[in-house]
Structure 1
Amino acid sequence: MFQTKIKLNNTGKIDAILKEIVLKTHEEALEEKLLLCMECGDVDFYITYSNNEELQDAINENFEIDECGEIMKIDEHQELMDDLFDYFLIIHKESELFDYFPAGPYALGGEIRESDTDMLAPKGLYSAPFEDALKEW
């Protein structure tokens, strides 16, 4: 469960939605044999939020909305969004659905190669964070 200082009415609902999104991401990545960049748009909470109405509604139901449809406590909303951004990365790494490849050097094919970003891949699919490190099945 994620940690935030913001008082929420539906922490479990938000948590369940995020974990379902991670599961769907895993299924898509496995089917397409994708590497996911954790510092790019592949695992980005804000992109996920903007494309998922159920998640938007679950988060926004914790905030008062003015007559124009705007969130009244925008600072609290932003703090929650920042907390959820961090948590979204954590649940990807800790889900046991993905292998986590931190940025750094990797030995591949007898040479040392450098990954500039943290990457995820469906568990057991890649031996290193590079497209040509796809394991043979």
Structure 2
Amino acid sequence: MLNTTMNLTNEKEIEEILLNIVKGAYDQIKYDAMLLYIDKDELNIMVATEHHEEFQEAIKCNFILDEGNDIMDEKGYYQLLRELQAEFTSMYKECGLFDFFLKGSYEVNGEKRFQDSDCIAPKGKFFAPFEDALLVVH
């Protein structure tokens, strides 16, 4: 269930679309050793949905549209996207496809390091949020 202040008429549809975007992102990087930093807009809903017609149409169902089929309540639209951003980020953390690393101190190769941003990586690739913290998989 999405946590938004707006009562969405098609909440389940929007949730499914966002989860499919998350799964698609995983499919694109699952074989790569890649870290995505949450606080650096690498999981930005605006970027992920900008040209996603199904998402755009699903969002429009919740607003009054003008003659050009554009959302009239621009402020409400951006408020909804800000709220959905938090949900989108949570989906990455909770879907089970990614490892989530909190910002903080980690030990890598005997050296204490600090990561100043939360990040995610495809499950099982890293033991800490640094490029050289790869897990050896046999």
What is the TM-score of this pair, normalised by structure 2?
A: 0.91
Letter aligned with residue 127 of structure 1: F
Greater displacement, 76-85 / 126-135: 76-85
Counterpart residue number, 2:32: 32
Q: Percent identity?
A: 36
Residue 7 in 1 paired to residue 7 in 2?
A: yes
How far does residue 76 in structure 1 lie from its aligned partner after superposition?
A: 2.0
C-alpha distance in 2 between matches for 1:119 and 1:16: 23
Secondary structure of the equivalent of 2:30?
A: helix
Secondary structure of the equivalent of 1:100?
A: strand
Going by fraction, where is helix more abundant, 1 or 2? 1
Greater displacement, 65-74 / 38-47: 65-74
How far does residue 40 in structure 1 lie from its aligned partner after superposition?
A: 2.0
How far does residue 43 in structure 1 lie from its aligned partner after superposition?
A: 0.9
Counterpart residue number, 1:42: 42
Secondary structure of the equivalent of 1:66?
A: coil
What is the TM-score of this pair, normalised by structure 1?
A: 0.92
Query: Which ranges of structure 1 fall in alignment gaps of 5 or more residues?
Result: none
Counterpart residue number, 1:98: 98
Secondary structure of the equivalent of 1:62?
A: coil
C-alpha distance in 1 between matches for 2:34 and 2:14: 26
Q: How many residues align?
A: 137
Kept in 2, the 8 Å contact 1:107–1:113? The answer is yes
Letter aligned with residue 134 of structure 2: L
Greater displacement, 126-135 / 48-57: 48-57
Q: What is the RMSD computed on CA atoms of the aligned residues?
A: 1.4
